Amino acid sequence: ATSSDKGGIEGAVNEAYNKYKDLKEGKNADYIPELAKVPSEQFAIVVIAPDGKVYSKGDADAMYSIQSISKVLTLARDIEDFGPKAIQDKIGVDPTGQKFNSAVFVEENKGKELNPLVNAGAIAATSMVKGNTYEEKWNTILQTHNDFAGRQLSVNDPVYKSEAATNQHNQALASLMNSFERMYFDPAKSVDIYTKQCAININTKDLAMIAATLANGGTNPVTKKKVVSPETVAHVLPVMATCGLYDDSGIWFYNVGLPAKSGVGGGIMAIVPGQYGIAAFSPRLDEAGNSVRAQKAITDIVNKLGLNPYLVK
């Protein structure tokens, strides 16, 4: 390790990359047709330190859709604007233990006791976003993503169109939520904004910067912009810890001990509070919908660097 890499981060990143670069387990998401076309071999790992220093390996500039990871940013926006109690009351903050797009859970619980990281709760969170019109809400969401990433992002139009043409299930979830009075804006428009937010294009450096901003109490470590308050982050991270990897959230937290969030585009970010933002990307997913290589790479790096906060030696 060099003096600027006292923690041996570079070595840990390289080691994880080399260990998993030939792993072919899992498969691309294909329920959104455009995602099936993303080159499955792509693999990237990026760690960002508190001073903004970037450690990266692999296809760190390859662009892909953020998908469910956007749910975290929209949640942060809502908590910042309306306070933590509003999310707890209007959506819920308990893990469902079900698939991320479960309608059964919504029906059984009358749209209550969800969380903002499963689809029904996330669409409700999008519907709550500040603004009176579609455009105002969308601008609030995109600006929040830009601020977290520290640069101007844009929508991957083919992915947006592809999902918009095939998202009847999410439309059904929104209608069901609406029937229980758990939607806070027009359901069809809310699903459309949600679909667009999921199609925001990022690379793995952006994802690590988003993670680093959360690790840094809501202030982007490079642009120094305060995106959300430390109190907001303190409410976002526990939801990630309990609900971040769909119905495998428990397994993840059991093994890694860090809040994280995955997306069906193949990205995963993990947060080491007060320290690092860690991101990895590879399109092939396991049964739960989490990137196989990204999970393994982040797990190895966390263990190698001793970043699990529950491990006190």
Is residue 264 a contact residue for ligand GLN (CB under 6 A)?
A: yes
The residue whose Cβ lies closest to ligand GLN is 68
- Is residue 119 a known part of a binding site? yes
Pick the catalytic residue from 17, 55, 160, 194: 194
**Catalytic residue flag (residue 130):** no
Q: Nearest Cα to 203, choosing from 151, 135, 157?
A: 151
Pick the catalytic residue from 20, 55, 160, 246: 246
Least distance in Å: CB of 40 to ligand GLN?
Answer: 17
What part of residues 186-215 is at the interface with ligand GLN (CB under 6 A)? 198
According to CB under 6 A, which one of 56, 67, 127, 232 is a site residue for ligand GLN?
67
Judged by beta carbon, residue 111 or residue 265, the one nearer ligand GLN is: 265
**Catalytic residue flag (residue 276):** no
For residues 147 and 220, is the Cβ–Cβ distance under 8 A? Answer: yes
According to CB under 6 A, which one of 263, 266, 277, 283 is a site residue for ligand GLN?
263
- Is residue 194 a known part of a binding site? yes
**Catalytic residue flag (residue 194):** yes
Is residue 185 a contact residue for ligand GLN (CB under 6 A)?
A: no
Least distance in Å: CB of 168 to ligand GLN?
Answer: 11
3-state SS, the chain, equals CCHHHCCCHHHHHHHHHHHHCCCCCCECCCCCHHHHHCCCCCCEEEEECCCCCEEEEECCCCCEECHHHHHHHHHHHHHHHHCHHHHHHHCCCCCCCCCCCCCHHHHHCCCCCCCCCCHHHHHHHHHHCCCCCHHHHHHHHHHHHHHHHCCCCEECHHHHHHHHCCCHHHHHHHHHHHHCCCCCCCHHHHHHHHHHHHCEEECHHHHHHHHHHHHCCCECCCCCCECCCHHHHHHHHHHHHHHCCHHHHHHHHHHHCCCEEECCCCEEEEECCCCCEEEEECCCECCCCCEHHHHHHHHHHHHHHCCCCCCCC
**Catalytic residue flag (residue 68):** yes
Is residue 119 a contact residue for ligand GLN (CB under 6 A)?
A: yes
Least distance in Å: CB of 173 to ligand GLN?
Answer: 9
Is residue 68 a contact residue for ligand GLN (CB under 6 A)?
A: yes
> In the stretch 136-165, what mask flags binding to ligand GLN with x, by CB under 6 A?
---------------------------x--
Judged by beta carbon, residue 162 or residue 213, the one nearer ligand GLN is: 162
Is 54 exposed, middle or buried (CB count within 10 Å of its CB: 0-12, 13-18, 19+)?
Answer: middle
Judged by beta carbon, residue 70 or residue 213, the one nearer ligand GLN is: 70
Pick the catalytic residue from 46, 93, 222, 264: 264
Is residue 282 a contact residue for ligand GLN (CB under 6 A)?
A: no
Is residue 115 a contact residue for ligand GLN (CB under 6 A)?
A: no
- Is residue 109 a known part of a binding site? no
**Catalytic residue flag (residue 310):** no
Locate 65 and state its tokens: 């859709």
Pick the catalytic residue from 56, 65, 68, 190: 68
Residue ranges binding ligand GLN (CB under 6 A)? 67-68, 100-101, 119, 163, 170, 198, 263-264, 289
Active site residues: 68, 71, 194, 246, 264
